[in-house]
Structure 1
Amino acid sequence: MFGSKKQPAIRSLIGEGTVVQGTLRFSDGLRIDGEVQGDVVASPDDKSILVISEKARVIGTVKAGHVIINGTVMGPVESTLLLELQPKARIQGDVRYESLEMHQGATIDGALQRLTSGSVAAVIEDKPALKLLAAGNDMK
């Protein structure tokens, strides 16, 4: 489904051992192997890709089209196309996504909200609350 679309090239790299402080804005593709203390935001009209590698850490908001995380994010994450959480992904913050792929071992400490693409601005779907039956209750 997603393999048929050409991914943008990763044109920028924050290398391991590098610490960036402040808001980081990018277009096309960005790979983070170091640490960003601030928001990481893709251009709004861009089909962007953001890779946060296993050793990377972001303390701030993450927002891009296609987001692949295998490191740590301490802050909210928004992916307008596809969010891939690799086995070592650790997120402390709310997550908003259009499509989600989560591997065993990835963790999220926050709320999950699916975006809809029915309008120019993504809107959170209103869904009824999930009801669980307590053990021992009769199902009739």
Structure 2
Amino acid sequence: MAFNKDDVSINSLIGIGSAITGDIKFTGFVTVHGDINGNIETSGKIIVGEKARIKGNVTAKSAIIGGIVEGNVTAPEGIQLFETAAVVGDLATKHLLLADNVLFHGHC
């Protein structure tokens, strides 16, 4: 399997203590450890760290979630929810992996 550069190199990072209000759009691999009040979209992968809080929809090629998302998550290639994840919203994907003790309230 070939890897695209955007699959392994982090293009954008929202660090712990950061707070963003408004919709944001990225190209490539994004990692979120801060708070976002708005929709977030990227053409690549997104990782939502366990300290992250997103109030808005998440759209990415694939998503790994360990924090809190209050909104829908759309990631056609796959969504993985770690045991620290809490998602209140719908999930849209071809592949879904849920760890034990995940809090999920929505449809998929």
CA distance in 2, matches of 1:42, 1:8: 14
Moved over 4 A (4+): none
Question: What SS does the aligned partner of 1:105 have?
Answer: coil
User: How many pairs does the alignment contain?
Assistant: 105
Q: 2:29 is matched with which residue?
A: 29
Question: What SS does the aligned partner of 2:95 have?
Answer: strand
Q: 1:50 is matched with which residue?
A: 46
**What stretches of structure 1 of length at least 5 have no aligned partner?**
113-140
Deviation string 1:56-115 (CA, Å, 9 cap, x unpaired) is 010000010110000000011111101111111100011111111111111211111xxx
- With over 3 angstroms needed to count, the CA separation of the structure-2 counterparts of 1:37 and 1:9, relative to structure 1, is same
Residues 83-98 of structure 1 mapped to structure 2, 5 A cutoff: 83-98=79-94
Q: C-alpha root-mean-square deviation of aligned residues, in Å?
A: 1.0
Q: 1:100 is matched with which residue?
A: 96
Residues 39-78 of structure 1 mapped to structure 2, 5 A cutoff: 39-43=39-43, 48-78=44-74
Deviation string 1:32-52 (CA, Å, 9 cap, x unpaired) is 000010001113xxxx11000
Please, what TM-score do these two structures have when normalized by structure 2? 0.92
Q: Greater relative contact order (Cα 8 A, min sep 6): structure 1 or 2?
A: 2
**What stretches of structure 2 of length at least 5 have no aligned partner?**
none
CA distance in 2, matches of 1:92, 1:20: 20
